[in-house]
Every structure is written in C-alpha cells, then in structure tokens.
C-alpha cells in the first residue's frame, strides 16, 4: 500500500515543471506579494491557485465567494476560470492589500468579473445573505483570519447551493494542528473546525495534504 510521498524541493520543482501553467500576470503578482510584510507566507501557492481555478470550472461556477482577498491572487485565478458573465465576490477587512492586485486583475481583463467588498467579513456575509438569499453561490473559498473559520464556514454553507463546493485553506496550519504543544487561538480554531467537518452530515468532504492543507466540502 502506497503512503504519502514526502514533498521535497526537488519533487516540488518537478511538479511545477510538468503541471503548473503560469504566465507573466500571475507570476508578477506573486513576486510583488512576496515582497510585502508576511507576503510569502500569506499568499496561496501557485499550484493551489491553479487548483482553485480547476474547481471553479468543475462545478460550473458562475458565482464565487471569496473570504479573504489579500492581494487578490486567488481572486484572479477564480475570475479567470469563470465564464464572461460570472462574478467573484471577494471580501477583505481593508482595501490596502487588494489594491495591490487590482492592476493585475485589469491586465488579465477580468476586473469586471470581480466585486470587492471591504469591511468585517461576518457583516459582509450577512449582507450577502440578505441581498442574494440562501444558496446564491456555486463555490466559496475561505482563506481569512483563522479564529473565525467556524463562523465563516457556517455562513458559507448557507450561501452555497446544494452540490456547490466550499474550499477551506490552511486546514493543516503549518502542521500545528497535529502538535498538542500548540494551543494558540488560531490553531485551536482550525482543529475545532476540522473535527466538526469530519462529522458534518451536511457535506461530503476530503482534506488534501497539499500546500498548508486544503479541505473540500461539497454541500449535499
């Protein structure tokens, strides 16, 4: 029986050589983001962005919700995968970091597919539920402050259609979830969400040992 392959730098380089479909817009946004404080740690891996775009296409999404924009790399990946009349609603607590990504959205020709909402994410999600109603989104990507992950998940579930997909980033959280020595609020919040998802009969789910852990939850 095969087990999980250890991800070495050599192996990751090979995977990128044979599977990563990159271009100047994506690469330059990653490079600019990496120069920001904490940018290299906070942005999604290129492979994860490509996976997100693939998932958007697989569910036939026209409406995508993103919780946590940062510099908009994952926003760009999702928007490019949408049809011309599709929309990504992306929310962040401040416009400071999304402003970095806006020129790249324009260069890619998808800025008209992106609806940026600035403010507290819980308020934004409540507003979207009132504005659009339950089940308004085909795919939700959660990648924001960890202590509120459980709240974001529950509100996302209400906003996702049956058969739609919720993609949750950082569910392995640097490996800390498996180390009892870590009991900070962020790690505890991720652990509690992971435990809840394992027994959540409302979804079919799978945790991917990729990047910093990616959990896929399909709403039944």
Question: How much is the average pLDDT of 122-150?
Answer: 98
How far apart are alpha carbons 220 and 218 in whole angstroms? Answer: 6
Residue 13 lies in a domain: yes
The tens digit of pLDDT for each residue in 145-191 reads 999 999 999 999 999 999 999 999 999 999 999 999 999 999 999 99
Q: Which two tokens stand for residue 91?
A: 């929310």
Residue 207 lies in a domain: yes
Residue 213 lies in a domain: yes
**1 — pLDDT class (breaks 50, 70, 90):** low
Residue 1 lies in a domain: no
Residue 147 lies in a domain: yes
Q: Which two tokens stand for residue 210?
A: 């990729």
pLDDT at position 186, please? Answer: 97
Domain around 90:
9-219
How far apart are alpha carbons 167 and 88 in whole angstroms? Answer: 14
Residue 2 lies in a domain: no
**Could you tell me the CATH number of the domain that includes residue 59?**
3.40.50.150
Number of domains in the chain: 1
Residue 4 lies in a domain: no
Q: Which two tokens stand for residue 116?
A: 């940026």
Helix (H, G, I), strand (E, B) or coil at 11: helix
């Amino acid at each position: 029986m095969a087990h999980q392959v250890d991800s070495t730098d050599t192996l990751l380089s090979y995977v990128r050589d044979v599977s990563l479909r990159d271009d100047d817009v994506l690469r330059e946004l990653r490079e600019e983001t990496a120069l920001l404080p904490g940018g290299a740690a906070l942005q999604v891996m290129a492979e994860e962005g490509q996976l997100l775009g693939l998932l958007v296409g697989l569910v036939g999404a026209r409406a995508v919700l993103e919780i946590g924009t940062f510099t908009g790399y994952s926003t760009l990946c999702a928007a490019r995968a949408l049809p011309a009349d599709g929309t990504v609603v992306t929310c962040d607590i401040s416009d400071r970091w999304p402003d970095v990504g806006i020129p790249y959205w324009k260069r890619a020709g998808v800025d008209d597919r992106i609806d940026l909402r600035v403010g507290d994410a819980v308020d934004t999600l409540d507003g979207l539920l009132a504005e659009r109603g339950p089940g308004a989104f085909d795919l939700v990507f959660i990648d924001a402050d960890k202590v509120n992950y459980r709240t974001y998940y529950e509100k996302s579930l209400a906003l996702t259609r049956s058969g739609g997909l919720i993609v949750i980033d950082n569910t392995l959280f640097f490996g800390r979830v498996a180390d009892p020595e870590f009991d900070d609020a962020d790690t505890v919040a991720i652990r509690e969400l992971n435990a809840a998802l394992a027994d959540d009969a409302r979804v079919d789910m799978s945790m991917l040992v990729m990047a910093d852990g990616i959990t896929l939850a399909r709403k039944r």
